[in-house]
Chain A
Amino acid sequence: MEKIDIITGTTAAAMAAKLSNVEVIAAYPITPQSHCVEALAKYVADGELDAEFVKVESEHSAMATCIGASATGVRTFTATASQGLALMHEMLYIASGMRLPIVMLNTNRALSAPINIWCDQQDSIAERDSGWIQIYAEDNQETLDSVVQAFKIAEDEEVLLPVMVNIDGFILTHTVEPVAIPDEEKVREYLGIYEPKHAYLDPDRPITQGPVGVPECYMETRKDLNDAIEGSREVIKRVNEEYYKLFNRKYGNGLVEGYNLEDADTVLVAMGSVCGTIKYVINELKEKGKNVGLLRIRTYRPFPKEDVVEMLKDANNVAVLDKNISLGFNMGALGIDVSSVLKNKKVCNYIVGLGGRDITPQDIEEIISHVEGAKDGETKWINLKE
């Protein structure tokens, strides 16, 4: 039976990993994800989860351990944030290059310097090109559902790629709210047991994984990797539908979620928890007779190019919110991506919420009124002190 509990985003992720019957967890604690691995360590210690919990000395080792474990063909999970994710950087490319279906919770947090433990999305954006599928959840319920879905997507024969589920640090990780927790047996039946069919480490059938890729073959492996993540869009959509049939919850088409897009001349584009605040403002404005829409990007990679074009086709003012900044370009990553796929349309970029700067309904209203009077290509930093 599904039950509802009032929990934080980190607990929701830990519960999802437990429901998914992960077999190896290797992690190093870092704020704001520590509660996630602490909960998992407790599940293992209490005998509630039959998994190997490997304590490591750094995030680099955490990902190296996940790679080794996943390569033997077991379901593997880890969690990190910010500096921890940055320290994993070279290992992330190895995980995707070896086509290992590792699932990781990243609790979005700013990068130093100056030291800042609070939320922005610079950490995961910096790993944009690593070959990991990136999902951004809006609330704690979606966090739980996305971690379960992530295993289904990652382990799909057509995908075989690692998946990073991103949730906003503190805003979700430290907030308790009601979350429906699906029945464990039902989740385990849905996911099944991960059984790699192709390349995996087995003493009875010795192979080498991730060896030298000489110029004669390296480029083809990169093309294969790109084809896999490009092709994952269909799998992500399918998993979203399957999950809806079984658990009665879906998130747009899996890649994007449209909110109040019909007849909306002005549309905001954003990722993560700020989408809740945007929906709140949209609802308030609607009561006053003003129509504004939201296009929530759920999977940043693979980027939902076709959906962005299709769903924004009637919008005249597109405001893209970024909790990151591409230094030297004066735009956030999402702003750059949306601008590159939308032709002949006004797209403005808003840098918001860096390092935990709160994003209020007033900030959203300011963005809406600015974009309606702005010229194409403007970038504005919101709620910046003079």
Chain B
Amino acid sequence: MIEIRFHGRGGQGAVTAAQILATSAFYDGKYSQGFPFFGVERRGAPVMAFTRIDDKKIILRSQIYNPDYVVVQDAGLLSAVNVVEGLKKDGTVVVNTTEEDMDLGFKTYTIDATGIALDILGVPIVNTTMLGAFIGATDIVSIDSVKKAILNTFKGKLGEKNAKAAEVAYNTIKNKE
């Protein structure tokens, strides 16, 4: 079973990202769960969301404490939240930042997701862009499934733009490697 934790700020769509990832895994023929941290949600405040992916039906119902992967939608959270708390030793972090390199004590990928989102979506909402970057870094689901899940979540032009943002971020990470 693979467990992913998303860190974001209320209003940045972390929960939607966790759900889109779960849906993408489902499109890949896997079992999945996507759920928010069961706590107080306020716009701008640090929030978390989770995804579980497995080859068999997922029956575990607790929150995630030892993720395999962490996605940080906002580098500003790094000073407020210990984003790598409980992360497995060989875990991976993907951070939205303009910095090229970052040492968080784990394998870390960085991407200027805000820049990509502003360029393609015109707003600094980075959940779909970060999802593309995360898949570029980890390949835990296929980018085609992510795009399909995005198009089914956001209708029409909004969906197309978000799928594009995910794809650009995916390719950006792939080209870095």
Kindly state whether residue B61 has any CB partner on chain A within 8 Å: yes
Kindly state whether residue A231 has any CB partner on chain B within 8 Å: no
**B interface size (C-beta, 8 A):** 19
Q: Quick check: which of B31-39, B77-85, B112-120, B135-143 contacts chain A, the rest being far away?
A: B31-39
Residues in chain B near residue A277, CB distance under 8 A: 59-62
Kindly state whether residue B23 has any CB partner on chain A within 8 Å: yes
Question: A358 touching B32 by the CB < 8 A rule?
Answer: no
Kindly state whether residue A174 has any CB partner on chain B within 8 Å: yes
Kindly state whether residue A192 has any CB partner on chain B within 8 Å: no
Q: Indicate whether A276 sits within 8 Å of B60 (C-beta atoms), given known contacts A6-B22, A6-B32.
A: yes
Min CB distance A272 to B, Å, is 9
Q: Indicate whether A280 sits within 8 Å of B19 (C-beta atoms), given known contacts A170-B38, A174-B35.
A: no
Kindly state whether residue B106 has any CB partner on chain A within 8 Å: no
Residues in chain B near residue A139, CB distance under 8 A: 59
Residues in chain A near residue B22, CB distance under 8 A: 6, 176-177
Tell me which of B26, B35, B65 contacts A175 (CB under 8 A): B35
A174 to B61, CA, bound (A): 12
Question: A178 touching B38 by the CB < 8 A rule?
Answer: no
Kindly state whether residue A274 has any CB partner on chain B within 8 Å: yes
Residues in chain B near residue A170, CB distance under 8 A: 35-36, 38
Kindly state whether residue A171 has any CB partner on chain B within 8 Å: yes
Q: Indicate whether A178 sits within 8 Å of B62 (C-beta atoms), given known contacts A118-B38, A119-B38.
A: no
Residues in chain A near residue B35, CB distance under 8 A: 170-171, 174-176
Closest A-chain residue to B65, C-beta based? A360
A318 to B31, CA, bound (A): 32
A118 to B39, CA, bound (A): 8
Question: A358 touching B63 by the CB < 8 A rule?
Answer: yes
Kindly state whether residue A361 has any CB partner on chain B within 8 Å: yes
Question: B38 touching A358 by the CB < 8 A rule?
Answer: yes
Residues in chain A near residue B26, CB distance under 8 A: 4, 6, 178
Closest A-chain residue to B23, C-beta based? A6
